[in-house]
Structure 1
């Protein structure tokens, strides 16, 4: 008798899960299904799990495909289970390809190809809780989002569209997605919600089309390049009753939120200054091409986010220094300075200049330090005159962090909330307007 074992969360059980179980069962005579415990899901960074363990086990049992069900509770249990149950084949979805090769020392490892081309209706669970997400764009952000989506419960990538047909085909094949859509309209119509990761200058047109079609929309930052467009989109989303969220991932990290809360609750006294820097060296690609490229459009959202979250939106004056490439006119280094009634702040960005990418929040009793890269906030330190009082805090996150913005998006949809307090429309709009002003400044 050939014994097969497979594992998963099986939250909001849907057709994709069922098909994977069917293919695993077809590999042998007996199928053992491991269902992850609630605590293990949290430990391994699985977000937004809707069903509790007992419900998920019951749903798997109801398929009639599992001959035996076990609960996976800790890292390394797979080896224990394989030996305990004398397993011949370990089967898992191909999105984990290579991850479990080490189990080849204990049994045969089979990576099952993910089911392509499942419709939005087929993706939905019996509780109607599965979200079919369409992607517009096929670049770096789209690729990361597809990978991260596998770690967010209740969402499934339906497919994607990109004006760059070759790039769209390549990404779809690499990530085992359905054939790319032939138009933005098609992917919008077929999806429950849309993630927009196209070039910055196209965000507005795609977001508007999706919102007008009644779809919830997650848009990479900057949400648009023009303040009036941002205002229009948020107003339109409110009128249509759909979620519009800017995918500024740092805002959704636990570490960043805890840092802001610590600073604003008096941990360092009254905040008097915020200095945030984000630079990276980029030599080619859309980031360095006119008219939409540049340090401000590429990275400006993040340091302004830190400033606005720590000091608010009511600054008295703003100034900036912007250095551009003489030939392309693209800004390669910029510094925005803001003056508040009782504080000052600077936001520094660069794609042609490298600097220490840290965040310093100065207060009347001490200061808060977030080391580079602070926008991937996984730790920060409260520092005082008496160094014995210093305190260090750690809030690790998983992978590139895209799962956190996606999880917040799905959470807002489920809760029927059109916005998130973690990155409010007024904060997003203020950021776009300030970046637009700086980008339009005279050449130096």
Structure 2
């Protein structure tokens, strides 16, 4: 029986070896496809650190493989299976269902993730592997684990949740090494933690992780207070640890190029940034006091656009918010930022739907980014003379969480503590805007007489 499997095999470790052992046991001849750098890039695989030849050597040196092929393009698996007379296609169970189409050509086997390959063993085998724990077991945590498989050099090993049965189910569903009974236990098992709990828990969870010597990637908003954000970044800096607020847009290739073009002077001096992000949410923690509302849920994105383009030197923050009778939180807000020579408008809504575009206006032209601009794949630079107009296209892979994770892992690997893509001073500035906006918003709607959003 001829068996084939595929992978990047970057930073070859014991988990790779055990996967190949199990594939080899399915037949008597094992073929391994190793992906090229270009193909990895085209399918959204990030942070591959070894060359193709090094990765091929990783595979051949393990002594389990009878033949190696190079995977160069989408659809090659079908051709390889037919050309090489393959009987069984084997792949890790984290790809379950993804390759069912190959059943028309051979048997497809999804191999369960090898449990018991501890993060300690991975670190001993290769210092390039970053073991990660997940604090939280909701939807965003699930998306994170799914996205992590596209980032080379990381391994999600454990999960903790305030509801133990949820953590156990999560660990089983994603074949993690363990679910932890406490957050403190989680912190002893990993080198880094991804925090995906409710907004109000972020400050405490981040501070405890940093005190334990663990790097932190925390979902937005990092905090709802500038003072708390400042304190956390100072704590990380003092400990020599990486702390990153996970605003995925900031790390995506299209948005990075957008900022560079906007600030290059190509549309003249920028006078206005107008950004909107709305999504309809009918219930859940996003609609509950004290930490819910459209500002805390969504404003990090439009405020990111304002701060990245106009900077942190705003002089005034003014907010109007809609809160209907019976609602604990505001459902729509507009934040106006005044700068010495420009203005920014950030609109958010969880009970009001609007066009989610981004417009950057300059003295020579403007940049238009259609909805959903925060998943930046396409934008246009437009001018008075339409012959000067330009269109730009970029890839935004998956849910986008792979970009923030790749940058986070690269910072740790390279011994740096802050990223130019989203430095601490910008994160702190946005926390301050959120704090001011929520505390001083002018309320309109049926709840207009109830004061600020803080009650």
Q: TM-score, normalised by structure 1?
A: 0.98
Q: Cα RMSD (Å) of the superposition?
A: 1.1
Q: Give the aligned partner of residue 206 of structure 1.
A: 205
Q: Give the aligned partner of residue 161 of structure 2.
A: 162
How far the C-alpha of 1:167 sits from its partner, in A, is 2.5
Q: Following superposition of structure 1 onto structure 2, how do residues 43-58 of structure 1 map, counting pairs within 5 Å? A: 43-58=42-57
Q: Give the aligned partner of residue 64 of structure 1.
A: 63
Is 1:420 the equivalent of 2:413? no
Find the residue that maps to 2:259 and give its secondary structure: helix
Q: Is the CA contact 1:322–1:441 (under 8 Å) kept in the aligned structure 2?
A: no
CA distance in 2, matches of 1:330, 1:300: 14
Find the residue that maps to 2:178 and give its secondary structure: coil
How far the C-alpha of 1:125 sits from its partner, in A, is 6.4
Between 121-130 and 371-380, report the one with greater CA deviation.
121-130
CA distance in 1, matches of 2:188, 2:108: 38
CA distance in 2, matches of 1:125, 1:369: 49
Find the residue that maps to 2:331 and give its secondary structure: strand
Q: Give the aligned partner of residue 342 of structure 2.
A: 343
Q: Give the aligned partner of residue 185 of structure 1.
A: 184
Q: Give the aligned partner of residue 239 of structure 1.
A: 238
Aligned residues: 443
| Moved segments of 4+, more than 6 Å | none
How far the C-alpha of 1:328 sits from its partner, in A, is 4.0
CA distance in 1, matches of 2:116, 2:309: 45
Q: Following superposition of structure 1 onto structure 2, how do residues 40-439 of structure 1 map, counting pairs within 5 Å? A: 40-124=39-123, 126-439=125-438
Find the residue that maps to 2:179 and give its secondary structure: coil
CA distance in 2, matches of 1:355, 1:236: 39
How far the C-alpha of 1:175 sits from its partner, in A, is 1.4
How far the C-alpha of 1:224 sits from its partner, in A, is 1.0
Q: Is the CA contact 2:92–2:112 (under 8 Å) kept in the aligned structure 1?
A: yes
Q: Give the aligned partner of residue 452 of structure 2.
A: none
1:52-95 alpha-carbon deviations (Å, 9 max, x no partner): 11111111111111111111111111111111211110000111
CA distance in 2, matches of 1:120, 1:192: 9
How far the C-alpha of 1:435 sits from its partner, in A, is 0.4
Q: TM-score, normalised by structure 2?
A: 0.95
How far the C-alpha of 1:165 sits from its partner, in A, is 2.4
Q: Is the CA contact 2:317–2:436 (under 8 Å) kept in the aligned structure 1?
A: no
CA distance in 2, matches of 1:329, 1:284: 11
Is 1:27 the equivalent of 2:26? yes
CA distance in 2, matches of 1:63, 1:23: 13
1:334-390 alpha-carbon deviations (Å, 9 max, x no partner): 111011111111000010100000000011111100000111111100011122221
Q: Gaps (5+ residues) in structure 2?
A: 449-455
How far the C-alpha of 1:123 sits from its partner, in A, is 2.2
CA distance in 2, matches of 1:316, 1:440: 17
CA distance in 2, matches of 1:202, 1:371: 33
How far the C-alpha of 1:171 sits from its partner, in A, is 2.1
